[in-house]
């Protein structure tokens, strides 16, 4: 597996136009082509159209079509510094038949939280009435990013981004259902 550097904390779409580039991925050719940034309507994108017609068309005139083809916008600086790693990662994803979604680490962490929440529910509650520990500080999941956020000049995580082990618990569904019923979303007649 190829290690791709962590993305820049700046969204490339927030950069000035002359500081970003577009990358055209073609699974048929297994290539990545660089294009200057363009923000207009796609039908007026003559550079993309020319590149597709010249390089990404079969002799019969049909375009290369694949669910893994696409155009991405990246920071010009990141592209220049990490070109080889980006291309290698793109080719790896194309060869493997696509992206694994959010990645195995995410799904493993989510499944671990769900298992822990289920064990807590079985051990302590196993009922649908009330839970004294629901979304208490004891059940708060804190990522180890406080120092990293400070170094990057980012504000502390806002309260609405807090996640609790309870979010993965069966009791959470009961709480959500009660809130929606109180808001009038359900009609139990």
CB 25 within 8 A of CB 68: yes
Average pLDDT of the chain, as a whole number? 81
Q: How far apart are CA 151 and CA 99, in angstroms?
A: 30
pLDDT tens digits for 27-73? 888 888 898 988 877 778 888 888 888 888 888 888 887 666 678 88
What is the Cα 39 distance to its own chain's centre? 23
Higher pLDDT, 133 or 100: 133
Q: How far apart are CA 125 and CA 171, in angstroms?
A: 9
CB 66 within 8 A of CB 55: no
pLDDT tens digits for 10-24? 566 677 767 888 888
Residue with tokens 């493997």: 96
Q: What is the mean pLDDT of residues 80-101?
A: 80
pLDDT tens digits for 126-154? 666 788 888 898 999 988 888 888 888 88
What is the Cα 106 distance to its own chain's centre? 10
Q: How far apart are CA 106 and CA 168, in angstroms?
A: 14
pTM: 0.47
All structural domains of the chain with their residue ranges: 12-95, 104-182
Q: How far apart are CA 107 and CA 138, in angstroms?
A: 23
CB 23 within 8 A of CB 35: yes
CB 112 within 8 A of CB 141: no
- For residue 10, the model assigns a pLDDT of 53
Helices (H), the chain: 46-55, 76-95, 104-120, 146-151, 170-182
CB atoms near residue 168 (< 10 Å): 20
Whether residue 75 has pLDDT greater than 50: yes
Q: 19 is written with which tokens?
A: 């500081």
């Amino acid at each position: 597996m190829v290690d791709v550097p962590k993305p820049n904390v700046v969204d490339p779409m927030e950069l000035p136009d002359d500081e970003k580039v577009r990358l055209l991925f073609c699974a048929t050719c297994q290539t990545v082509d660089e294009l200057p940034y363009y923000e207009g309507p796609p039908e007026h994108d003559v550079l993309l159209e020319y590149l597709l017609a010249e390089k990404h068309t079969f002799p019969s005139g049909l375009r290369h079509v694949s669910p893994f083809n696409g155009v991405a916008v990246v920071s010009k600086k990141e592209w220049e510094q990490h070109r080889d790693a980006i291309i290698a990662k793109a080719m790896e994803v194309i060869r493997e038949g696509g992206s694994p979604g959010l990645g195995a680490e995410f799904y493993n962490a989510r499944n671990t939280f769900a298992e822990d929440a289920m064990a807590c529910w079985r051990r302590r509650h196993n009922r649908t009435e009330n839970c004294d520990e629901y979304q208490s500080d004891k059940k708060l999941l804190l990522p180890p990013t406080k120092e990293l956020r400070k170094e990057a000049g980012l504000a502390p995580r806002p309260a609405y981004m807090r996640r609790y082990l309870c979010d993965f618990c069966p009791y959470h569904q009961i709480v959500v259902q009660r809130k929606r019923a109180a808001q009038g979303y359900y009609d139990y007649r």
